């Protein structure tokens, strides 16, 4: 395998790859849509709970505008500048985001060293962008961004993959890269894995706020409780899943219906030990992603309980719900009976 190179060197040419891909790429559905919904909600939640100002925003690698539109909708008074190398993708983004005078799109090449469109931003946002460029390029980019931005926010893969990465992917320790750029960094693990791998959200600044540091502590504890820390361990996962199935068989009678909160991590179960399994949230029998609020979670739970669900099960991979949806969790504890509460599952009996 040839060594991966940056642009303007011999070997793999990053810009050429993305210019060619940009002619056809538009949400290729390689990532499950429920993961993108969770990723988006997690991003907005961190930005809000971390008290990050969002008046002047620069987005890097906007693609067809998925995150651009999200930011513009969440902060309608913000001035959002979205950059991408591909003219085709910029055209797609303009169409996708619609007519919004506060959003503008510009072509930009990371390797050019050209100045950014403005000299001051509250936040720079880059979702699955930095991982597509070599370390030396990202470090130099971060150093330049640190002169114009109060905060830099990125979501990327940061753990070693158990297989070889493609030529256009670099997996690295972003906290270390931010340190090389003279910035502090908070690391916030997303509460869901794909193929045993987990993304993390990184927030960098010259000085992190108390709100961000506390949020980092809380989400780190949730990730450790859910077993989402460290390299993928398929044997450990399978053993834990087998033990969880035994836990459920001991408390849920055959022929029952139970709701399973697992963020689609248990393989899309529809039946277990003679009992019917309903995903949560659920739409037309399929998993529909996490709820947008505690109120939505409770309303959907009541709907499924009225339809005959007898139990609610939280898999360890979704213990983050119990910390994130705090009002929903408190209401569960106050109005239902807890049958199992261990490091693998939490089971609530829903009988009125």
What are the structural domain ranges in the chain? 14-226, 234-349
Question: What does the pLDDT read at residue 228?
Answer: 54
Q: Is the pLDDT of residue 31 over 60?
A: no
Question: What does the pLDDT read at residue 238?
Answer: 62
Q: Is the pLDDT of residue 235 over 50?
A: no
Mean per-residue pLDDT, 135-154 = 95
Question: What does the pLDDT read at residue 29?
Answer: 45
pTM above 0.75, yes or no: no
Of the listed ranges 25-29, 187-191, 268-272, the least confidently predicted one is 25-29
Question: What does the pLDDT read at residue 4?
Answer: 42
Question: What does the pLDDT read at residue 8?
Answer: 41
Question: What does the pLDDT read at residue 6?
Answer: 42
Q: Residue 139's pLDDT band (boundaries 50, 70, 90)?
A: very high
CATH architecture of 14-226: 3-Layer(aba) Sandwich (3.40)
Q: Residue 165's pLDDT band (boundaries 50, 70, 90)?
A: confident
Question: What does the pLDDT read at residue 80?
Answer: 98
How much is the mean pLDDT over the chain? 86
Q: Is the pLDDT of residue 20 over 70?
A: yes
Instruction: Output 13 or 224, whichever has higher pLDDT.
Output: 13
Question: What does the pLDDT read at residue 204?
Answer: 97
Q: How far is CA 27 from CA 65, 93, 127, in A?
A: 10, 12, 13
Question: What does the pLDDT read at residue 286?
Answer: 81
Q: Is the pLDDT of residue 299 over 50?
A: yes
Question: What does the pLDDT read at residue 320?
Answer: 82
Q: Is the pLDDT of residue 274 over 90?
A: no
Question: What does the pLDDT read at residue 192?
Answer: 72
| Proportion of the chain above pLDDT 90, given as a percent | 57
Question: What does the pLDDT read at residue 344?
Answer: 92
Q: Is the pLDDT of residue 60 over 80?
A: yes
Question: What does the pLDDT read at residue 11?
Answer: 65
Mean per-residue pLDDT, 175-192 = 90
């Amino acid at each position: 395998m040839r060594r991966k190179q940056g642009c303007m060197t011999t070997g793999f040419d990053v810009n050429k790859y993305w210019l060619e891909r940009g002619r056809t790429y538009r949400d290729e559905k390689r990532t499950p849509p429920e993961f993108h919904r969770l990723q988006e909600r997690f991003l907005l939640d961190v930005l809000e709970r971390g008290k990050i100002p969002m008046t002047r925003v620069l987005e890097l690698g906007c693609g067809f505008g998925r995150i651009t539109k999200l930011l513009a909708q969440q902060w309608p008074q913000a001035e959002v500048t979205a950059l991408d190398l591909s003219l085709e993708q910029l055209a797609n983004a303009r169409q996708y985001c619609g007519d919004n005078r506060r959003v503008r799109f510009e072509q930009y090449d990371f390797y050019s060293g050209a100045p950014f469109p403005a000299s001051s931003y509250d936040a720079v946002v880059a979702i699955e962008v930095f991982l597509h460029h070599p370390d030396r390029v990202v470090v130099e980019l971060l150093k330049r961004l640190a002169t114009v931005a109060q905060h830099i926010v990125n979501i990327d893969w940061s753990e070693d993959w158990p297989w070889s990465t493609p030529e256009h992917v670099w997996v690295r320790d972003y906290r270390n890269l931010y340190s090389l750029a003279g910035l502090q960094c908070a690391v916030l693990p997303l509460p869901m894995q794909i193929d045993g791998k987990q993304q993390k959200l990184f927030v960098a600044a010259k000085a992190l706020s108390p709100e961000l540091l506390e949020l980092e502590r809380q989400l780190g504890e949730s990730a450790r409780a859910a077993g989402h820390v460290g390299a993928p361990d398929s044997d450990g996962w399978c053993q834990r899943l087998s033990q969880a199935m035994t836990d459920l068989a001991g408390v849920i009678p055959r022929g029952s219906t139970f709701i399973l909160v697992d963020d689609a991590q248990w393989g899309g179960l529809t039946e277990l030990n003679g009992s019917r399994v309903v995903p949560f949230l659920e739409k037309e029998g399929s998993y529909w992603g996490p709820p947008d609020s505690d109120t939505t979670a409770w309303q959907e739970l009541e709907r499924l309980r009225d339809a005959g669900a007898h139990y609610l099960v939280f898999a360890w991979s979704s213990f983050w719900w119990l910390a994130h949806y705090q009002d929903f969790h408190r209401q569960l504890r106050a109005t239902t009976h807890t049958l199992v509460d261990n490091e693998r599952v939490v089971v609530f009996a829903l009988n009125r």
